[in-house]
Amino acid sequence: MVKAQKTQASRNSATLNRTHLISLGVYVFFLLVRAVLFRRRLLPFMLLTLPALAIEFWFERIGRPVFAEGTQGKELKRAGEDLEAKGLTEWMWDVVYWTWACTALVALAGDWAWWFYSVVPLYSAYLAYTTFSGVRQGFGGLSAGAGGDGSGSGGGQSKRQAKMEKRGGQRVQYK
């Protein structure tokens, strides 16, 4: 196997193991504080930690390396997806981290702190809006090349052509 795949497999295994241990620690901390010190409601805990648990199980499914018995012992069959990828994977990590923070805050401060979890849908809406507006701006200049009015200056000229004519340099003749 390629060295890069082996590196990714070991990195994914370490990341997943660390994630599961931290998650277990945060949730056990919440339950211990609830059982020993303060009464915290369990229904919001179960409902609001469900997305993070689903994401963790998804990461486990796509990121855990798969080994198979081969002629030389265990051989890497599949390294797993990159758990450090940008985009959706990065957003899912943010949800997991924010869930841990909110769970610890609720354990220490009280059930009112679950309101901090409302940041997740607000952040998601912000990301969706900025992504949509960026794509829309990217496609905005395409109408000029298709005969639309676009954002070019002066009768279908490119910006470079308009500058050249403004300086009195090379004139472009259109037929």
Q: What does the pLDDT look like over 18-76, one tens digit per residue? A: 999 999 999 999 999 988 887 778 888 899 899 999 999 999 999 988 888 877 777 88
Mean pLDDT of the chain: 82
What residues are paired with 74 via a beta bridge? 69
Q: What is the pLDDT of residue 8?
A: 85
Range of the domain at 91: 3-114
Q: Are 106 and 33 in contact (CB under 8 A)?
A: no
Assigned domain for 109 exists: yes
161: in domain: no
Q: What is the pLDDT of residues 88-141, one digit of tens each?
A: 899 899 999 999 999 999 999 888 888 888 888 888 888 888 888 877 777 766
Q: Is residue 145 part of a domain?
A: no
Per the CB < 8 A criterion, the answer to whether 172 and 164 are in contact is yes
| 53 inside domain | yes
Q: Which residue has the higher pLDDT, 105 or 145?
A: 105
Whether residue 141 lies inside any domain: the answer is no
Contact criterion met (CB below 8 Å) for 172 and 165: yes
Q: Residue 138 domain-assigned? A: no
- 25: amino acid identity, one letter: G
User: Per the structure, how many domains does the chain have?
Assistant: 1
pLDDT at 149 over 80: no
**Residue 133 within a domain:** no
Confidence band for 168, pLDDT divided at 50, 70 and 90 = confident
Mean pLDDT of 157-164: 79
Angle between helices 3-36 and 42-63 (to 10 degrees): 170
